[in-house]
Amino acid sequence: MTTHSILQKPAISRAGGNRRWNRFKKIAWPASVTAFATVLLGLFLMPFLYMVFTSLKTQTQVATPGAPIWPAKYPTYVYTGENKNTYTLQVNKSGFPVNQVINMSDYAGKPLELYRVPLPNGTTKKLALIQGYQKSSIFIDPAKPAGDPIVWTGYYESLPRPWVLAPQWSNYVEMWNDVNYPRVLWNTFFYAFMTTIGVLVSCIPVAYGFSRFRFPGRDVLFVVLLSVIFLPSTVTIIPTFTFFTKIGWVGSWLPLIVPSFFANAYDTFLLRQYFMTLPRELDEAAMIDGANPLQVLWSVIIPQSYPVIVAVTVFHVVWAWNDYFNPLIYLSSRMDLQPISVALARFNGLFGSRPELIQAGSLLTLLFPLILFVLAQRFFVQGIVITGVEK
């Protein structure tokens, strides 16, 4: 059927159309797919930009409707005092005109606020305020510091003000001190480091046991191990917490670190899947040379498994960095031991009205995992592919 219709085609008239279609397929189609992906990615990652911009804003800017989205502040103009004359100006302070004496040298060296003032000739000019009242205000022109003061009728606070780019780096300093970042960072590193050691020294031998030894019941146990990945942790948390309370471990690192030394199912599975792909010939050769199983693990399996061990390590470090629930329940009474995720959430509860500080704190929280990701990208991807393909 298909062949038949191709043969029926009026060959010449379609040729031009096909060529155009082919050119479209070669250039326009990849370009539109890539453009679409770029827009989608931009939307997906947009909160990062929001975080950076907001974290550099002043409290005033955050609370001002209509302020720019980038970090900015109201500029000021320092009057240099070229004009030393004294003026008597008629101004309308609060309903009726009065005479106001202005001695220009009083304003020399003072920072003045800038406003966008609409002038009688229809243009708008950036002017510096020297005296403002309810019904009229006195400005000088920063472009002509030696010129006469300008009286403008209207309430100066209704005028729009210009913004200039001004990142407020001190938000980071404030956040750094308020959450006691060095302490919190140390706690997080300590938690990640100790549990990573626990994971590596327990999961590697267990994965080796599941992948290299044949014994009755092994496959049943492996299915049990896998089903633990799907087991809701809710069903174990109450007795576990009660047990740790009764033995006095709550309020210390122990309930967070000790369980990691008993081989979690996920990392064991990942390692076991990788070990299964390693050829057995090298193990057997080592065993013929008289190596015991521990020596085989140490000198044959581990040296070949460097990619998966790095993958497990980076996954686990990111997991520990992210962990909120366990430190929350076990360290709720010990603020000095809490890691960063708990500290950040606590800070949000206290300072919910300071988005610029929350965003600065979020950046400080995600910076380390982000750097780790940039450095170890391929290990993340590899680790997931090991678990993903074998399903």
Partner 1 sequence: MENLIRLPKTGSPETIRNMGPLARREFRNGLLFISPWIIGFLVFTLFPMLATLVFSFMNLRLTDNPLDPSKFVGLHNYAALLKDAQVWNIRPDSTPGSLWVTIRYGLIAIPVGILLPMGIALLVNNPALKGQNFFRSMFYMPYIVPFVASIFLWAGVLNPEFGWVNMTLLALGVPRSDLPGWINDINWVYPAYVLLGIWGIGNAMLTMLAGMQAVPTDLYDAAKVDGAGSFARFAYVTFPMISPVVFYNLILSVVALFQYFLVPLALNTGNAAGFPGGATMFYNLYLYRTFFVFQNMSYGSTLAWALFIIILIVTVALFATARYWVYYAGERQ
Question: What is the footprint of partner 1 within residues 53-92 (CB under 8 A)?
Answer: 54, 62, 65, 69
Amino acid at 338: Q
| Minimum gap (Å) between residue 259 Cβ and partner 1 | 5
321 binds partner 1 (CB under 8 A): yes
Residues between 185 and 204 with contacts to partner 1, criterion CB under 8 A = 202
Q: Which is nearer to partner 1, 143 or 235 (CB)?
A: 235
Q: Which of 338, 143, 231, 281 is nearest to 128 (CA)?
A: 143
3-state secondary structure 265-312: HHHHHHHHHHHHHCCCHHHHHHHHCCCCHHHHHHHHHHHHCHHHHHHH
Our CB check for partner 1 shows the closer of 118 and 369 to be 369
Extract the tokens encoding 162: 């210009």
CB of 13 to partner 1, least distance (A): 23
User: Quick one: 83 or 341, whose CB is closer to partner 1?
Assistant: 341
Which candidate, 94, 324, 297, 93, places its Cα nearest to that of 209? Answer: 297
CA distance 282 to 237: 43
Q: Under DSSP, is residue 172 helix (H, G, I), strand (E, B) or coil?
A: helix
Q: Please identify which residue in 268, 305, 326, 338 interacts with partner 1, judged by CB under 8 A.
A: 268
Work out which of 15, 46, 98, 285 binds partner 1, going by CB under 8 A: 46
Backbone angles phi, psi at 150, to 5 degrees: -115, 130
For the chain, the C-alpha Rg in angstroms (whole number) is: 34
Cβ nearer to partner 1, comparing 137 with 188? 188
Given the complex with partner 1, which of 156 and 210 has the nearer CB atom?
210
Q: What is the pattern of x (binds partner 1, CB under 8 A) and - over residues 366-385?
A: x--xx-xx---x--xx--xx
- Is 155 a binding residue for partner 1 by CB under 8 A? The answer is no
Residue 325 interacts with partner 1 (CB under 8 A): yes or no:
yes
**Residue whose CB is less far from partner 1, 92 or 348:** 348
CA distances from 138 to 68, 112, 129, 236 (A): 27, 12, 6, 73
Which range in 48-56, 70-78, 119-127, 141-149 contacts partner 1 by CB under 8 A?
Answer: 48-56
Nearest approach, Cβ of residue 162 and partner 1 (Å): 20
Token pair, residue 116, equals 């966008």
Q: Considering only residues 213-252, where is the footprint of partner 1 by CB under 8 A? A: 213-219, 221-228, 230-243, 245
Kindly state the tokens that stand for 45.
Answer: 């990652």
Angle at 253 between CA 247 and CA 254, to 5 degrees: 40
Instruction: For residue 36, state whether it binds partner 1 (rule: CB under 8 A).
Output: yes
The one among 37, 98, 247, 335 contacting partner 1 by CB under 8 A: 37
- Nearest approach in angstroms of CB 118 to partner 1 is 24
Total of residues contacting partner 1 (CB under 8 A): 104
Listed in sequence order, the DSSP H helices in 75-217 are: 170-178, 181-212
Name which of 112 and 310 has its Cβ closer to partner 1: 310
Query: Which residue from 200, 256, 263, 286 is in contact with partner 1, where contact means CB under 8 A?
Result: 263
* Helices then strands, each counted (H, E), the chain: 17, 9
